[in-house]
Structure 1
Amino acid sequence: MNHTVVQTKKAPAAIGPYSQAVIHNNIVYCAGQIPLDPASMDVVPGGVQKQTRQVMENLKQVLLEAGTSFGKVVKCSIFLDDMGDFKEVNEIYSEYFGENPPARETVAVETLPKHVKVEISCIAYI
């Protein structure tokens, strides 16, 4: 394979057999991030807003390590354990993107790893 694995200690280590991100042909494929504190690997306390902010900060660190940023994200996937949190997640999420946000889908799932409220993945270019 002709790709580069991205790894930073400024984001949580993978909790399974996957990479934080992979770069192939100048495209960065970021694994889903959940609201883990990178230092302790514990789920951040608080509700969905605090969890969403931690997820976005984790993604930001992975993107930076890959040599890109939120301004170059073309697609996000959001997974929620409760679609009732949609509005609150959008409020935090929108702070990280400018006037032209990336394409996105948001889906409700039964359960997320470590029983968190939100997980977000993204695809960006360098």
Structure 2
Amino acid sequence: MSDILHHMITTGPRPVAPFSHAVETNGLVFVTGQMPTDPDAPDAPLPEGIEAQTRRVMDNLKIVLGGIGLRLEHIVMARIYLTQFERDYAAFNAIWPGYFEAGKLPARTTVGVTALAVGALVEIDLVVRRPG
């Protein structure tokens, strides 16, 4: 049995609750759901709209993954949470594929939820596999 590593990325988004940015074991990395907060201005208002919030969440995920030597291409599974599912699902889907190589999208589940921390419209968590 391998060790469990708990990762906190110093340049990453400030956690909105007590958690590690990512936890790694046996080549799998579980990345905590990221919010559309600005790591450089964590108390700033959230970006307006699902498009801007999705981009900010993806940027935050890239920061967390980069902090442990991984990239978006290493994602195996993503869970997406939307507070306005009916309204925002299509707009989210228009942005999501642009972060991945054509034909190489991770597995994904998207659910509608009643609320997210900090009043966010979107949150994304990941399961990532470390290559090698």
**Could you tell me the TM-score, scaled by structure 2's length?**
0.89
- Secondary structure in 2 aligned to 1:95? helix
Q: Shift of residue 2 of structure 1?
A: 2.0
| Matched residue SS, 1:9 | coil
Task: Name the counterpart of 1:109.
Answer: 113
Does the CA contact (< 8 Å) of 2:50 and 2:122 recur in 1? yes
**How many Å separate the matches in 1 of 2:12 and 2:48?**
19
- Residue matched to 1:63: 65
The Cα of 1:12 is off from its aligned counterpart by 0.7
Aligned residues: 126
Match for 2:112: what amino acid?
Answer: A
SS in 1 for 2:6: strand
Unaligned stretches of 5+ residues in structure 2:
none
Give the aligned partner of residue 85 of structure 1.
88
Name 1:97's counterpart in structure 2: 100
> What stretches of structure 1 of length at least 5 have no aligned partner?
none
Larger radius of gyration: 2
Q: Which amino acid in the other structure matches residue 21 of structure 1?
A: A
Return the letter of the residue paired with 1:14. P
How far apart are the structure 1 equivalents of 2:88 and 2:112?
10
Q: TM-score, length-normalised on structure 1?
A: 0.93
96-105 vs 47-56, which moves further: 96-105
C-alpha contact (below 8 Å) 2:16/2:117 kept by paired residues: no
Query: In the TM superposition, what is the alpha-carbon distance from 1:121 to its structure 2 partner?
Result: 0.5
Query: How much is the aligned-residue C-alpha RMSD, in angstroms?
Result: 1.4
Other-structure match for 1:10: 11
The one-letter amino acid of 2:100's match is F
Change (3 A) 1:10 1:93: farther
One-letter code of the match for 1:55?
V
